Amino acid sequence: MDNETFNPVLRKFLKQVGVTSQRDIELAVGRALADGRLDGVTSLPVRVVLTVDGIDLTHEVAGDLSLEQSPR
């Protein structure tokens, strides 16, 4: 494996995951706020499961997305 070739490909994929995921989450939260499904909710549990076929890799990241403004 050539790291100089592989690393940019991996970074491009992860950037695509991050950008598209952020957009989809923002749109879904906006819709849920607009139709009242998130009225009074201050955070949302979130979980991402990444699988890589062929090497039996499953990686999970979990956390919470705060919907409150942070103090300035």
Residues whose CB is less than 8 angstroms from the CB of residue 67 and which lie 6 or more positions away in sequence, other chains included: 29, 38, 41, 42, 43, 44
Looking at residue 68, what is its pLDDT?
Answer: 83
Instruction: For the chain, give every domain's residue range.
Output: 3-66
Count of C-beta atoms within a 10 Å radius of residue 25: 13
Residue 14: φ, ψ to 5°: -65, -35
Q: What is the pTM of this model?
A: 0.82
pLDDT string in tens for the chain (72-residue length): 888 999 999 999 999 999 999 999 999 999 999 999 988 778 999 999 999 999 999 999 999 999 887 666
